[in-house]
């Protein structure tokens, strides 16, 4: 009889430990790791400026918000001078240990990127092959990141990343910042 009671006590202690561990894990938010917070600098309302190629500046805006309890970041970009609008959704993949982003816009583009935050920069890249068989690489780089300002480059390479050409440089300034 005593051995039966001892076994029951051991079983109850084991079940309590198992339940406590499961409850603690249930309280951990899946997107609360430091890596999943690396893109938080981008969240906010932004005024954008870039060269129009003729010595002047073009103005746009970007509204960047968190979705799904902070597991995803949604961007809503507007270049009102040229009626160019687009949006992206970004999220940290624990399977790849990389950031992934999908971009769509009113020009019919669908672009997918993979990248990481390293050395104070967020770099997201993609590659594709043209119908003529030429491999093109593209990347965006967020850099000079401070609380209220940063710079962003859209770059292209047609030699598999040996050299990059800046196609578009945007300066971000936080609204009310």
**DSSP calls for 103-130:** EEETTS-EEEEEEEEETTEEEEEEEEE-
The C-alpha atoms of residue 99 and residue 123 are separated, in whole angstroms, by: 9
Which pLDDT band holds residue 11 (cuts at 50, 70, 90)?
A: very low
35-174: CATH topology: Lipocalin (2.40.128)
Which pLDDT band holds residue 176 (cuts at 50, 70, 90)?
A: confident
Which pLDDT band holds residue 92 (cuts at 50, 70, 90)?
A: very high
Which pLDDT band holds residue 4 (cuts at 50, 70, 90)?
A: low
Lowest mean pLDDT among 9-23, 26-40, 56-70: 9-23
Within 10 angstroms of residue 59's Cβ, the number of other Cβ atoms is: 13
Look up the pTM and report it.
Answer: 0.82
Of 166, 163, 126, 159, give the one whose Cα is nearest residue 143.
166
CB 127 within 8 A of CB 136: yes
Lowest mean pLDDT among 16-20, 40-44, 148-152: 16-20
């Amino acid at each position: 009889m005593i051995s039966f009671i001892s076994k029951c006590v051991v079983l109850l202690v084991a079940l309590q430990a198992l339940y406590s561990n499961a409850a603690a894990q249930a309280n951990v938010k899946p997107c609360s790791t430091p890596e999943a917070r690396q893109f938080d600098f981008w969240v906010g309302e932004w005024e954008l400026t870039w060269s129009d190629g003729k010595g002047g500046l073009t103005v746009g805006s970007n509204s960047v918000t968190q979705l799904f309890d902070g597991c995803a970041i949604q961007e809503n970009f507007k270049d009102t001078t040229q009626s160019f609008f687009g949006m992206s959704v970004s999220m940290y993949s624990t399977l790849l240990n990389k950031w992934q982003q999908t971009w769509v816009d009113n020009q019919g583009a669908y672009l997918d990127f993979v990248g990481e935050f390293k050395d104070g920069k967020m770099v997201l890249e993609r590659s594709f092959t043209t119908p003529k068989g030429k491999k093109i690489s593209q990347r965006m780089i967020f850099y000079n990141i401070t609380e209220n300002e940063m710079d962003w480059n859209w770059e292209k390479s047609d030699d598999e990343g040996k050299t990059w050409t800046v196609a578009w440089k945007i300066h971000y300034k936080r609204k009310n910042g």
